[in-house]
Copies of this chain bind each other. A is one copy, B any other.
Amino acid sequence: MPEMTIAEALREGIREEMRRDPSVFCLGEDIGIPGGFGGAFTVTLGLSDEFGHDRILDTPISEIGIAGVAIGAAMTGMRPIADVQYGDFLFCMMDQLANQAAKMTYMSGGTVKVPLVMRAPVGSTRRGSQHAQSLEAFFTHIPGLKVLAPSTAYDAKGLLKSAIRDDNPVLIFEHKLLYGSKGGRSEKGALTAVGEVPSEDYVVPIGKGVVRRTGKDVTIVGKLLTVYRALEAAQELAQEGIEAEVIDPRTLIPLDKEIILESVRKTGRLVVVEEDNITHGWGAEIAAMVAEEAFFYLDAPIKRVAAPDTPPPFAPPMEAFYVPSTARVVSAVKSLF
């Protein structure tokens, strides 16, 4: 099986789906210009060579327009994959996503569908407050959207393919430090999430989480980059005799609640790790869900490890303080024993 970075895996996923289905196309800023960037993180690099500029459609800097165009095309027989250069810009198209895309099927009494995909990079990477946010929690709270967060190359391709074939609006959050983009677009502090990716057609089903490491003492739930932080923490903890189970939900909406509950029923302890601000973050729902549905299995308070309630700061020492570290995960786990 070929090894790929996440950027490559996404690119191959788009390529295969575009070959398979003529209604699939991409749109976004700087995604297909010859000599250009192939999107902010190279995901669409080279695709316009094969598919031309009608199907790898470069847009003006008009985020409301990009989202609206994707919705209108999706409602009339196409399957757009829209690209936003940084997740932070989703706020510019929030009305289109929250009030239009997410509600259209519902408001029409189920008579129309909106099969669109929106891809958005998240994560703090020394670019300051407006190019760094993790926005998952804003979108997991909008009924009508599906929300994915792949952390491996295999999942990235498989989930993207599921998203393209899904008849609903699907947001995919991708972490800048996991892309493995090369050259000018390589990122300081990046992890190389290179992995084996089948060349034959496969999908990863939406709504299924995965246990990344088994353990009996504590459950750690992470997503995107924090899956890796959780795994590093688990290794350290193992040396002190604490066996952590690490769960990667992969799909945030719909959530595989059962995989989390099953683990907590076994371990009796839960730590949720995410890069976003702690208060009213994504982790709050995981904690609240478990506090309701597995309360009697819990042996300790539920801990969340997340960014403090500040915008992402620029300078590296402050940014490192902001983004949850492996050490913080370790100490949160230990505080439960």
Contact = CB atoms under 8 A, between A and B. Distances in A.
B309 A288 contact: no
A292 B288 contact: no
Contacts of A130: 99, 103, 107
A281 interface: yes
Give the bracket for the number of chain A residues in contact with chain B: 35 or more
A72 interface: no
A294 to B, nearest CB: 8
A304 B295 CA distance: 14
Contact of A284 (B94, B253, B287): B287
Contacts of A199: none
Given A94-B94, A103-B311, A280 B291 contact: no
A290 B292 CA distance: 12
Contact of A310 (B106, B137, B291): B106
26 contacts: A91-B95, A91-B98, A92-B94, A94-B94, A103-B311, A106-B129, A106-B310, A107-B130, A107-B311, A137-B280, A140-B280, A141-B277, A141-B280, A280-B282, A280-B284, A280-B285, A284-B285, A285-B288, A287-B292, A288-B291, A290-B291, A291-B291, A291-B302, A292-B303, A293-B301, A295-B300
